[in-house]
Amino acid sequence: MSLDLPGPQAVRKLQPGRLVIASHNPGKVREIRALLGPYGVEPVSAAELDLPEPEETGTTFVANAELKARQAADLSGLPALADDSGLCVEALGGDPGIFSARWAGENKDFAEAMRRVHAALEAAGPDAPRDAHFICALALAWPDGHVEWFEGRVDGTLVWPPRGDKGFGYDPMFQMEGMGRTFGEIDPDNKHGISHRAKAFEQLVKAVF
Ligand SMILES: O=c1nc[nH]c2c1ncn2[C@H]1C[C@H](O)[C@@H](COP(=O)(O)OP(=O)(O)OP(=O)(O)O)O1
Ligand SMILES: [Mg+2]
């Protein structure tokens, strides 16, 4: 999958003050808080503001990140940062991709979602490559309608059975290129230095702080 962003963007700096983390996923909110730690903004989550969870009608990670950020900025009157991310499995044509959260169902059961990915890979045949990548698209929206986008990617392979309980989502079955442990087995501080989210944040930090 390419990392095409919507186009050249004007760079606007983010001023100190409250910043909405427009996500309803506690694992993600935790990582984003840690990644924003050094930059002097006051993160406030969608849950703390009681913001509704929008329907993700976009067909790309960037479009969904933008939709979530715009809605939160509109409703809160504050700048808002959204993350749309997912696991893309090469042998599955990029699935679950933007549907990564939806594969976990209403109950957000990622043990089940990982079994689904594993079953789909088994169905693809014994020689189906285990290559996969995580994508993270970030959108930062201001109440006046200005938006900026950033993206990061990390490549790896899928393992079975899943290992580790330190991350969230599909972390226990994803092993980054060149690493012997899954994202579920490494310390959060370590993941924050290398993940798709960390890479997207590197771009964001360069541009807006
Ligand atoms: O670092 C990660 N480690 C493991 N799994 C991950 C990661 N990053 C995204 N993922 C998977 C699980 C997540 O549920 C889905 C994203 O779906 P996505 O719609 O962006 O997030 P979400 O619905 O969980 O929360 P929200 O939209 O409120 O931010 O991809
Ligand atoms: Mg979502």
Instruction: Spell out the per-residue pLDDT of the chain, length 209, in tens.
Output: 445 566 555 689 999 999 999 999 999 999 999 999 999 999 999 999 999 999 999 999 999 999 999 999 999 999 999 999 999 999 999 999 999 999 999 999 999 999 999 999 999 998 999 999 999 999 999 999 999 999 999 999 999 999 999 999 999 999 999 999 999 999 999 999 999 999 999 999 999 99
Which ligand lies nearest to the CA atom of residue 65 in the structure? 1
- The total number of structural domains that make up the chain: 1
Best substitution site from 35, 68, 85, 168 to test ligand 1's pocket, by max atoms within 8 Å of Cβ? 85
**Protein residue with its CA nearest to atom 29 in ligand 1:** 23
Q: What is the pTM of this model?
A: 0.95
pLDDT value, residue 11: 83
Residue 21 lies in a domain: yes
Which ligand lies nearest to the CA atom of residue 192 in the structure? 1
Residue 9 lies in a domain: no
Read off the amino acid at residue 103: W
For the question of residue 131 being annotated catalytic, the response is: no
3-state secondary structure the chain: CCCCCCCCCCCCCCCCEEEEECCCCHHHHHHHHHHHHHHCEEEEECCCCCCCCCCCCCCCHHHHHHHHHHHHHHHHCCCEEEEEEEEEEHHHCCCEHHHCCHHHCCCCCHHHHHHHHHHHHHHCCCCCCCEEEEEEEEEEECCCCCEEEEEEEEEEEECCCCCCCCCCCCHHHEEECCCCCECCCCCHHHHHHHCHHHHHHHHHHHHHC
Residue 4 lies in a domain: no
Residue 8 lies in a domain: no
Which ligand lies nearest to the CA atom of residue 176 in the structure? 1
Say how many CA atoms lie within 13 Å of 146 toward its Cβ. Answer: 12
pLDDT value, residue 1: 42
Residue 27 lies in a domain: yes
Residue 1 lies in a domain: no
Q: Kindly report the CATH number assigned to the domain that includes residue 113.
A: 3.90.950.10
Q: Measuring from each residue's beta carbon to the nearest atom of ligand 1, which residues come in under 6 Å?
A: 23-25, 28, 53, 56, 68, 83-87, 100-101, 134, 167-171, 183, 195, 197
Residue 171 lies in a domain: yes
**Protein residue with its CA nearest to atom 25 in ligand 1:** 25
CA-183 nearest atom, ligand 1: 3
Ligand 2 ion: residues within 5 Å (CB): 101
ipTM metric: 0.99
**Protein residue with its CA nearest to atom 13 in ligand 1:** 101
What is the span of the domain harbouring residue 202?
A: 17-208
Question: Binding site for Mg(2+): residue ranges?
Answer: 55, 84
pLDDT value, residue 3: 58
Residue 122 CA to residue 126 CA, distance in Å, equals: 6
